[in-house]
Structure 1
Amino acid sequence: MTDTDTDIAYVVDVSPGSGTLPPRAWPPASDATRLSLNGSWRFRLSPYADADTAFTAEGYDASAWDTLRVPGHWVLQGQGRHGSPAYTNTPYPFPVDPPFVPTENPTGDHLHTFDLPAHWPAGGEAVLRFDGVESCARVWLNGAELGEFKGSRLPHEFAVTGQLRPRGNVLAVRVHQWSSGSYLEDQDQWWLPGIFRDVTLLHRPEGAVRDHFVHASYDHVRGTGTLRVDSEPAGRVLVPELGIDVASGETATVPVEPWSAEQPRLYEGELVTDGERVRLRVGFRTVRVEDGLIKANGRPLLFRGVNRHEFHPETGRTLDLATMREDVLLMKRHNINAVRTSHYPPHPAFLDLCDELGLWVVDECDLETHGFHAVGWRGNPVADPRWTPALLDRAARMVERDKNHPSVVVWSLGNECGTGEGLSAMAAWIRERDPSRPLHYEGDRSCKDTDFYSRMYADHAEVEAIGRGEEAALDDPESDARRRAMPFVQCEYAHAMGNGPGGLAEYQELFEKYPRLQGGFVWEWIDHGLAHPEFGYAYGGDFGEELHDGNFVCDGLLFPDRTPSPGLTAFKSVVQPVRMDGDGREGVVRIRNLYDVSDLSHLEFAWAYEKDGATVREGVLDVPAVGPGGSVELALPEPPRRDPDAETQWTLRARLAKDTAWAERGHVVAWAQLPVEGGMQPPAPGGSAPVRAGGRIALGCGEFDARTGALLAVGGLPVTGFGCDVWRAPTDNDNGMPWVAGSSLAAKWRALGLDRMQHRVEAVEPRADSLVVRTRVAPAASDLALRVTYHWISNGIRLALRMDVEPEGAWQVPLPRLGVRLGLPAAYDRVTWFGAGPGESYPDTGAGAMLGIWSATVPELQTPYVRPQENGARSGTRWAELTDGVRPLLVDGGTFAFTARPWSTRELDAAAHRTDLVAGDTVWLHLDARQHGIGSASCGPGVLPDHRLRPGQEQFRVQFSVRDSAAPRRPA
C-alpha cells in the first residue's frame, strides 16, 4: 500500500486514529519544561487528499510555500488563496454517504522547523501535543510518521522522545478538511479547517505525572471538604493553607469554604512526584441530582446561562487568552452564572478562567450529527456500532482533559445526534469514570442516559406545563415516569438572532416560580460574523457558498466585535439576582435575594428620588445581609414635597460594595424603578383658524398641503413624507425559521402588502379652529384597510395631532407598527429624550431600558445588527427633542416610541449588510403609538399574545413645537 493510499484510507476510516497516547488531564502549570510550537509555519494547500507526502522527508525544500500562522485556520489567511469559509446550520456540505467524503477534499500540508532550547533537560521523555485540529491530521517528526487522529476540538498527544534532536527538528502535519470525523462534527458554525489550537512540546522528566484526578467534595452539613488526588505515578499532595500533606490516593477531610460560581473559592496546592511538581487549584464542591433537583453543595441551582461557541471575527475558533478572559468578564458583569460549551469542549484555558472567576459549566462533547435529520436519520453514527469506538474516544478525551475543573458540573454527551446505543455506551463509560457529575443530553426524550430533562426552544406554555409536572406524555409509560421525576433545564432558548430575543422576562418568571425549572441557556453568546473587506461582517453565502444558511450564524448576545447587544443588556436585567419591588407612593421596597449561595453583604443599595428624569435627592439604604432565598421589606426615605404635576419615581441600584476579580466597586448588579406620581402631559393648545393660501393651509405654526392634507412644516421647519406608518424592516424573528413553512410573519405581511401601503385622501376639512384630514390607508389587491383621521390644532406655538385609526375588514395578522412617519433635514442629527433608554426597547425586549433623560446622535441611535433590520426604537418616551444645534424640534404631548434614522425604512429593508446603508439628506423620524413585539421565532416561539399589535381602534396623540434656541430642553 502506498503512502497516498494510507492517507485516503485513514480519512474515511471510522476509527479515531492511531499512534496517540491515552487521554489525560490537561497539563497544568508545573516545573517541567515546555516549548510552544505556535508561530509561523510553511503551508501548501492541495485540492485533493491524495497529494504526495514527499514534504515529510528529510531535507525537503518548502521555501516556495506560503507561510501560515499556527494556531489558525487556513481559509482565514492568505487573502483568499487558501479557499474560503463556509457556513451551514444543519446540512452537511458534502453528500451524506458515511463514512465517505468527496474526492475534492482540501488538504493542507504544514511544515515547522524548530530547535530545542538550550535549557531543554537531558533524559526523560518528550510529548508532542495538539489541542485542536480540524478535521483530521497525520503527523511526522523528522521523517518518522507518528500517527493520525480525528476529533477536532479534543487534544491528542504523541510520544516523540526517540525522534527529537537538538537542532533542526522538522514537524510535518497533513490536515484534511473532510474526513469520517466530519460526520460527527455537524455543529451550527463555520467550517474552518486547520491547526486552530496550540501545538506544544512537553518534557516529561523521569517520575513525571502521567495523569492525575482531583476528587474534592464538600459536605454542606459539616462544612468540610474531602480531598483525594489519584496520581500516576504516586506522589504527595500538599495544600498548605489547609494543612494537607498526604500521599496521593489517600483522603484528607478538613473544614473548607466551598467552591461555587458565586464564590469561586480555590485553594492552591501541589502534587509532588519524584520528577515533577504540578500546580493544583482545588475547589471543593459536590453536585448531584437529589429530591428531583440539581443541587450544588446542598442548594438547588438556577442556571442563568448562555451557550458559547468559540469565535473571533478575524481568527475564527482560534482564541487568545485575553479574548477568553473578556468573554468570562462580560458574562459575570451581565449576571450570567453558567455556560454550556456548545457543542464541543472549549480551549482548556477557558475552563481555568471559569474556575477562577466563577461559572457553572456544562462541558459538551465534540459530537453532533444533525445533518442525518435530512435523510430520516438513516446511517446515523450513534446508532451504528462501527462508530462506537470513535464516540467513546471523544467522550474519554473530554472527561480526562477536563475532570479536574471544579467549574465543570455537568458532562454533556453531545448535541442533536438523534438516538442510539453509541450514546448509551458513552454515558455508561462516563458514569463509571466520573460518577460525581450529572449527565446531560437533550436529543432523547426517554432520558435513559441523562440525569435531568432537557429541551430546546420549548415555548412558555410548554415550560409552564413542565414546571407543573404536566408535560405531554410519550408512548412509553416508563420513560414518562422517569422524565417527570427529573429536574428540567432549557439547554437552548430565547434565540438571540438580530433584534431580540423577546419573551425573556416571561421565561424567567416561570423559572423562578416552579422549583423544577432550573433555568436555561440562551442561544447564543456571540454573532459569528467574519470580518470582510466589503461587507464589514460576513455571514453564510458571502463567500460564494452554494449551500449555506445565510445569517443564521449571527444569533448572539454580543456583536462580532464583542460589543453587548440590547439583548444582552435586557438579559442582564431579566436574570438579575436581586429583585426590588414595592409601592413607590407608600415609600416601601421589598428586596429579594435570588442568589443560589451568597447573601447581600457584598452589595450596596443606592436610591435616588427623581422628578421628570432628574435626580433631586439620593442616598444609600441600610440593607441587612439577607441570605439566599430570603427577603426584607424596608421603608424608603421621606421624599421631598410631592409634586402631582411632575413625574416622580424612585430609582434603586444594587451595586458592588468593593472591587471583585470581575468588576470594580460600584458596578450595578441589579436595579429597579418604583413610580410615585404619574405626571401630566401638556394640554392640547387652543385652536387658531386655518388659513388657505395657494396650495397650502396654514394652521398656527403648522403648514399643510391643501390637496392631500400632509404636514409640510412646523414653525418654519420643513417636513417631508408625513403619513400613517405601519411597516418595519422585518427582523430575523419576523422572518421566522426558513426551514419551517408558514413560520414567517414577515412573509404574511409582505403577501398582504403592508410594505407598500397606499394612501387615499377622502377629505381635507378646514374648521373654525382645526384641520381634519380623512384618509384610507390600504394595501393593493386587498379590501383590508385602516381608516385614519388626523385632527390638527395649533395655537401658533404648538401643533397638536390626534390620530384616530379604525380597521376595516377581517384582519388576520398583526400590524408591524402603528404611528406616523416624517422626514426632517439631515442636520437634525442630535436627540435628547425623556423615556426608556439609553438603548433600544420594544414591547417584549425593554427590560434593560431605564426611564430617564438620555442624549445621542442619530448615528448612535442605530443598533448595528449584522443583517440590517428594524432597530433603534426608544419606547415610553414622554418627550424627545431633535436639533440641528440652532432650532430644536420638540415632540411631546403623549407617550410614544420614537425611532430616528439617516435612511428610510425601505432602504433599511433592502440592505443585506451594514455597508449597504448610506446616510442621505433626510432624518426619518418614526413616532409610534404601538409596535408589534419581537419574540424569538427565528428559532423558537413567536410574540406572546400580550405583545401582539392586533388591528383595532386606536387614538394617538402627539405635539410638535420649534424653539428659537439651541439650549436643550430640561424639565421644569
Structure 2
Amino acid sequence: MDLENFAPGSGHLEPRAALRSDAPSLDLNGDWRFRLSPGANLPDDFADPGYDDSGWDSLPVPSHWQLHGHGSPAYTNVLYPFPVDPPHVPNENPTGDHRRAFDLPEGWTGGRLRFEGVESFARVWLNGHELGFSTGSRLPVEFDAGPWLVPGRNVLAVRVHQWSAASYLEDQDMWWLPGIFRDVSLTRSAADVFVHASYADGRGTLSFDGPGRLAIAELGIADLAPGTEITVDAEPWTAETPRLYEAVVTLPGETVRVRVGFRTISIEDGVLLANGRPLLLKGVNRHEFHPEHGRAVPYETMRADILLMKRHNVNAVRTSHYPPHPDFLDLCDELGLWVIDECDLETHGFGQVGWRANPTDDPRWAEALLDRMRRMVERDKNHPSIIMWSLGNEAGVGRNLAVMADWTRQRDPSRPIHYEGDWSCANTDVYSRMYASHAEVEAIGQGVEQPLPDPELDARRRAMPFLQCEYAHAMGNGPGGLADYQELFERYPRLAGGFIWEWIDHGLTHPTFEYAYGGDYGEPVHDGNFVIDGLVFPDRTPSPGLLDLKKVFEPVRFEFADQVVRVANHHGYRDLSHLGFVAVVEEEGVPVAEFPLEVPAAGGEVKLPDLPAGDGERWLTVRAVLATDQPWADAGHEVAWGQTRLSSGAVDGLTSGAAADFDFDPGTGRLTRLFGIEVEGPQLELWRAPIDNDTYGGLAGRWRDLGLHRLTHRVDAIETGDGLTVRARVAPAATDLGLHVVYRWVATGGGLELTVDVEPDGDWTVPLPRLGVVMALPAAFGDVTWFGRGPGEAYPDTGMAARVGRWSATVEELQTPYVYPQENGHRADVRWAELTSPSEGIRVTGAPVFGLTARRWTTAELEAARHRPDLKPGDRVHVNLDLAQHGVGTAACGPAALPQYELHAGPATFRLRFDPTGSSSV
C-alpha cells in the first residue's frame, strides 16, 4: 500500500517559490469536520461529496488532532516509537479523516490546492476525485484542482495517517504530532520566480529566472527581462541592516511581489564571509513550537520569537530540523536574521541498530530525499536571510546525500551546503559539528584538529569554515561555558560561531503538570524531559540562559582604565551611530551620579569626567542603548553594558558591643534562636537538587553513589570561652570519606559572627555539588534585599548577565521556574542580604562575599519534584549561604563544566555575620 511506499507522493505539481501574488486565492483554514480511527485500512466513502459527516467532530485547521482531545502526544528524541523495519509501519496507525466544504466564487476557473504542511501522509480528494497523496510533513505540496472544481459547493476530503514509510525520515527530536498543521488554500497563482541579488564592491547585481518582467521602482528598474543581469547602486542586506527592495514581477494572469535583499555569501581562506566581510553566527536552533498549538505556530508568535531573539543579540537561526512556515522566513528577511534552512530529514533512530537499512544510504529512498530537498529549495530560494542549505540532521552517511547536494549546487550555487552528520564533509562546503568541546573547537580554530584518513578529504575540510550547528545544550539550569566558547569563536577567523540548542522548552500545556514532557501521556517509549531544553520557557519567558546569551553575544564591549572607558564595536556590518551611551555611578548599589557619554561611531577611548568619591563600595556601569526606535525594539532598549569597581569601601573590623540575642541547642551546638526569631541554625551542606546537566552527564549518579544527598552530622565537641566552638564530622554512610568542620560563633557589636573551617578527611576524587551552610527561618520572612550580583541567578560558569547592584525580590521571585524542578536561584557574590518579615529581619554579611538561595521548600523536596506544581510551600524559608558551587556545564548534551569551574574538596574557611536589620555590619 502507499503508506509503505518509498515514493514521496503522487499527483502533485512541481514545487515552486512561495510568492505574494495578486491572483485570486481562497483561504481554506477554519473548522473542518473530523473523525479519528485507530487504524489505516478504512473505506474511502467519506470522500464522496454526499457523505453525511454530521456525526463527526469539528477540528480547527491548522492544528494537530492530539491537542484537541483526539489521542495523545508522544515524545522521543532518538528512538522510533515503532519497530525499525522500513518501509513498514504498525497496524495501529491513528488516521484522521478531514472534510471541508467550500463555495467557489462565481466565475472562478482553475486553481491549485496548496497544503503548506501535513504530518505525515496525506491522501487528497476533491469532489470525490482522488488528486494524489503526499509525504514530507514540513514541506508544501500542490495538486491541480481545476478539472474537478464545480460551481457552488465543493468538498475537499483529506485522510491523514500518523505513520507511513515517510515517518522513518522524520525522527527529529520532537513531539510526534500528526495533522494538517499548516495553512490550506486554493489559489489560482502558478508563478515561479527565482531572483538572484548579489552584492560586491559597494554595488548590487540583479537578475531573475522565470517568465514575466521585473521592476524595482526604488532602484529605477522598470522592465528587466529574465536572464538579464544588471548592476545597480543598492544598499546591502545583512542581519544587522536588513535592507529590502520591493520587486514586482508581471506575468500573464498575475503579478507577484518579491522582497529583494542584495547580499553575497562566500568562503575565502577557510573564512565564512557575507558581502566580503567575516560572518560570525550568534545563533539558536529553532523548532516550531507553541505550548497549546504544537507546530501550528501563530504568526504573532513567530514575530514575537524573532523580536525576542533580536533583543537578546541573537543574529542567526538554524531551522532545526525542517523548513519552517514560510511566514517565519519572511520575518527573518524583514527583521534581520541569518538563516540555515534545513531539509525535512532525520533518521536518528537507525543509529540504534547500527545504521542498518538507513534511508540515507538506500537507493530506494533517493527519490524521496531529493524530493524533500527540491521542495525546500524551490519554496525558499528568494529569501536573502537564507545563507546555507542544510541536507538534514543526524541522518548518518550515505550515497543519497550526494544526490541531494549535487542537485542543490546545480540549482543554487550561491549558497554553501551544510550537513553535520558526515564529518568527512564530502558533500558540504562547511565543516559542522555538534557539542565539540572547547579544546576541540580551539584545535579546529588553529587548524590542528585530528586528520581524516583520506588526505584529499582532509585537505578539503581544513579549507572550510567551522561552525557548531549545535552547542551549549540549554536544558534546565544552564548552559554553562558560553563565554568560553564565544571567546574562541572571536579569536580564530576560521570559526564561524554556532547555534545554541535550542530556542524553547517544548512543554505542552497540561491541566495537572502545568507543562507536560515525555512520559506524561503514558507513552511506552519516550525520552522524558529531554524535550525541555530551551532558552525560553514554554510561555516564552526568557530563562537565565537567554539573559546570559545576550551578554555573551553583545555587539559592543567595554574595557576600563584610569578615567577612561574603551568602547569596541563588535558589529559585523554597522557602526555605533544608532546607539546612545549612558554611565551611572552607584555606591552600595544606590545611584549617586549619572551622565551621558559621547562615543565615536567607530568606537574608541572615551575620557570619563571626575567621578564622585564615597566611603562605600562604588561601581561604574556603562550602558549602550538604542538611540532611536528600531523595527525590533524601541529607543532606550539596552544592547550592551559593562561594569568596573571604583572602590571597595571600608570593611569594619570586629568590635565589642552589646551581646546579641541568641540561643544554641546545648546538645548539638546548633543555633535555635536569633534576635528573638526561631531559626534552625546553619549547618554544613554539600548537596544540590541535581540539574539536568548533573543528571544526564552522570555526575549526579556519582554524587548519589557517594551519599552526598544523605549526609550525617556528628558533633565531636562543644567548647565555650570567648564564644562557642562546635567541632563536628560530616560524612555520608557507607564510606570512610568525610569532612571535619569547626563552627566558631562570636557575639560582637550586637550581632553574631560565624566562622566555618572545613578540612577534608580521606581521598576525595569526586567534585562536590556545593560547599556552604543551610539554615531555616519562619515562613513570614518572605522578602529579600541584597547587595551583590543580580537580579537573576548566577553559577560559576553562568550569570554573565548578573551585574553588581542592590536588588530586591520576594522568596517566590527568587525561584527560577524550570519546567523540570532542579537547583536554581543562586545569587552570587553577595556582600550582604536582608531577609525580612513584615515586622523584623536578619541581615547576613559575607567576608567578603557569599552565594545566596532562599526557598519555601527543602533541597530534598526540590529534588523529589517532577513538575512545578509538585513544589508546595512549607512553614519555613530555607536559606543556603554558600562559599562555592560546582559549575553548570552543558553535560546533558555536550561537555561538562570546565576544570576551572569544578568544585573539589579541600581546606576551606568562610565567614558570615548575622545582625538584626538596621544594624552595622562587617
Q: Given that residues 334 and 568 in structure 1 are in contact (C-alpha distance below 8 angstroms), is that contact kept between their aligned partners in structure 2?
A: yes
Q: Paired residue for 1:129, among 114, 136, 143? A: 114
1:10 to 2, 5, 21: 2
The residue number in structure 1 matching 2:766 is: 813
Separation (CA, whole Å) in 1 of partners of 2:794 and 2:7: 52
Match of 2:689 in 1: 729
Consecutive unaligned residues in structure 2, runs of 5 or more: none
- 1:263-274 aligned within 5 A: 263-274=241-252
Helix, strand or coil: the match of 1:608?
strand
CA distance in 2: counterparts of 1:681 and 1:17, whole angstroms: 76
Work out whether 1:210 is the aligned partner of 2:191: yes
Partner of 1:696: none
Q: Tell me how far 1:67 sits from its aligned partner.
A: 1.1
Q: CA deviation at 1:796?
A: 5.8
- Whole-Å separation in 2 of the counterparts to 1:280 and 1:745: 53
Could you tell me which residue of structure 1 aligns to residue 28 of structure 2? Answer: 37
Q: Map of 1:214-363 to 2, 5 A cutoff?
A: 214-219=195-200, 221=201, 223-231=202-210, 234-245=211-222, 246-363=224-341
Whether the 8 Å CA contact 2:270–2:462 is kept in 1: the answer is: no
The corresponding residue for 1:604 is 580
Please give the alpha-carbon distance, in whole angstroms, between the structure 2 residues aligned to 1:395 and 1:60.
Answer: 38
Q: CA deviation at 1:901?
A: 0.3
**Is 2:619 aligned against 1:649?**
yes
Deviation of 1:765 (Å): 0.6
Maintained 8 Å contact 1:687/1:770:
no
Change (3 A) 1:845 1:702: same
Is this contact kept in 2: 1:612–1:971, CA < 8 A? no
> 1:795, CA displacement in angstroms?
2.7
Q: Distance in 2 between matches of 1:211 and 1:51?
A: 37
How far apart are residue 721 of structure 1 and its match? Answer: 5.6
Contact persistence 1:893–1:957 (CA under 8 A): yes
SS in 1 for 2:529: helix
SS of the residue aligned with 2:171?
A: coil
CA displacement, residues 509-568 of structure 1 (integer Å, 9 cap, x when unaligned): 101111111101000000000101110000000000011000000000000000000000
* 1:101 corresponds to which of 86, 89, 98: 89
**Does the alignment pair 1:196 with 2:181?**
yes
The 3-state SS of whatever aligns with 2:654 is: coil
Structure 1 window deviating more from structure 2 (671-680 vs 305-314): it is: 671-680
Deviations 1:1-24, CA, capped at 9 Å, x for gaps:
xxxxxxxx1000010000000000
Corresponding residue SS for 1:846? coil
The question of whether the paired residues in 1 share the 8 Å contact of 2:323 and 2:344 is answered with yes
Q: Kindly provide the amino acid, as one letter, of the partner of residue 595 in structure 1.
A: H
Mark the CA change 1:519 to 1:72 in structure 2 (over 3 Å): closer, same or farther.
Answer: same
896-905 or 879-888: bigger deviation = 879-888
Secondary structure of the structure 2 residue equivalent to 1:799? strand
Following superposition of structure 1 onto structure 2, how do residues 330-409 of structure 1 map, counting pairs within 5 Å? 330-409=308-387
Amino acid at match of 1:728: R
* Contact kept? 1:459, 1:941, Cα under 8 Å: yes
Counterpart check, 1:475 vs 2:456: no
User: Is residue 898 from structure 1 mapped to residue 852 from structure 2 by the alignment?
Assistant: yes
TM-score by length of 2: 0.98
CA distance in 2, matches of 1:710, 1:732: 33
Residue 859 (structure 1) aligned with residue 812 (structure 2): yes
User: 1:178 corresponds to which residue?
Assistant: 163
SS at match of 2:365: helix
| Matching residue's letter, 2:221 | I
The residue type paired with residue 216 of structure 1 is A
Determine the structure 1 residue equivalent to 2:11: 19
Matched residues in 1 for 2:219 and 2:243: separation?
13
Q: CA deviation at 1:597?
A: 0.4
Partner of 1:85: 73
Alignment-mate amino acid for residue 795 of structure 2: Y
1:661 lines up with 2:615 in the alignment? no
Deviation (angstroms), 1:702: 2.3
**Structure 2 CA distance for aligned equivalents of residues 524 and 31 of structure 1:** 37
**What amino acid is the match of 2:578?**
H
Deviation at 1:847, TM superposition (A): 0.3
Pairing 1:532–2:510 present: yes
Q: Give 3-state SS (helix, strand or coil) of 1:859's partner.
A: coil
In structure 2, C-alpha distance between the alignment counterparts of 1:317 and 1:104, rounded to whole Å: 23
Secondary structure of the 1:351 match is helix
Deviation for aligned residue 1:722:
3.2
Shift of 1:687: 7.5
Q: Please provide the CA RMSD for this pair.
A: 1.4
Per the alignment, residue 736 of structure 2 pairs with 783
After alignment, is 292-301 or 350-359 more displaced? 292-301
Task: State the alpha-carbon separation in 2 of the partners of residues 103 and 34 from structure 1.
Answer: 38
Q: Does 1:950 align with 2:904?
A: yes
Q: Partner of 1:5 in structure 2? A: none
Shift of 1:857: 0.7
Match of 2:716 among 762, 767, 772: 762
Cα separation, partners in 2 of 1:682 and 1:191, compared to 1, 3 Å: farther
Residue 740 of structure 1 is matched in structure 2 by none
How far apart are 1:238 and its partner, in Å?
A: 1.0
Structure 1 residues 259, 345: closer, same or farther in 2, change over 3 A? same
Contact kept in structure 1, 2:821 and 2:867, CA below 8 Å: yes
Deviation at 1:83, TM superposition (A): 1.1
CA 970–293 in structure 1, closer or farther in 2 if over 3 Å, else same: farther
Q: State the match for 2:152 in structure 1.
A: 167
- The answer to whether the 8 Å contact 2:483/2:552 transfers is yes
The counterpart of 2:132, out of the listed 127, 147, 157, is 147
The Cα offsets for residues 155-192 of structure 1, whole Å up to 9 and x where unpaired, read as 00001012112322111000000001000000000000
Counterpart CA distance in 1 for 2:503 and 2:652 is 44
Please tell me the residue identity of whatever aligns with 1:40.
Answer: D
Indicate yes or no: 2:892 matched with 1:938: yes
Deviation (angstroms), 1:236: 1.5
SS class of match (2:813): helix
Residue of structure 1 in register with 2:642 after alignment: 672
Q: Deviations over 1:566-597 (max 9, x none)?
A: 000000001101110122xx122111111110
Give the whole-Å Cα distance in 1 for the aligned partners of 2:423 and 2:103.
Answer: 54
- Secondary structure (helix, strand or coil) at the match of 1:395 reads helix
Q: Unaligned 5+ residue runs, structure 1?
A: 1-8, 689-698, 737-742
Q: How many Å separate the matches in 2 of 1:126 and 1:880?
A: 69
- Partner Cα separation in structure 2 for residue 899 and residue 679 of structure 1: 25
Q: Does 1:592 align with 2:568?
A: yes
SS at 1:754 equivalent: coil
1:639 counterpart = 2:599: no
Distance 1:970 1:389, change over 3 A: farther
> Aligned partners of 1:201 and 1:886: how far apart in 2?
68
Distance apart, 1:971 and its partner CA:
11
Q: Name the SS of the counterpart of 2:20 in structure 1.
A: coil
Q: Which residue in 2 is equivalent to 1:464? A: 442
Query: C-alpha deviations, 1:648-705, integer Å up to 9, x for none?
Result: 12101011110000000011111010111122344334388xxxxxxxxxx7322110
Distance 1:416 1:757 in 2: 43
Quote the offset at 1:633 in angstroms.
Answer: 1.8
- Asked if structure 2 preserves the Cα contact closer than 8 Å seen for 1:681 and 1:893, the reply is no
Residue 683 of structure 1 contacts residue 893 of structure 1 at CA under 8 Å; is this kept in 2? Answer: no
Paired residues of 2:49 and 2:154 also in contact (CA < 8 A): no
Equivalent pair of 1:652/1:673 in contact (CA under 8 Å): yes
Q: CA deviation at 1:210?
A: 2.5
The 3 A distance-change label for structure 1 pair 434 and 833 is same
Name 1:836's counterpart in structure 2: 789
Does residue 618 (structure 1) correspond to residue 594 (structure 2)? The answer is: yes
Report 1:784-799 matches (<5 A). 784-795=737-748, 797-799=750-752
Structure 2: which amino acid aligns with 1:702?
Answer: F
Kept after mapping to 2: 8 A contact 1:701/1:794? no
Higher mean C-alpha displacement, 529-538 vs 275-284: 275-284
Contact 1:792 1:802 in 2 (8 A): yes
1:495-514 to structure 2, matched below 5 A, reads 495-514=473-492
Q: CA deviation at 1:970?
A: 11
Distance 1:467 1:281 in 2: 36
Q: Which runs of 4+ in 1 moved over 4 A?
A: 969-972
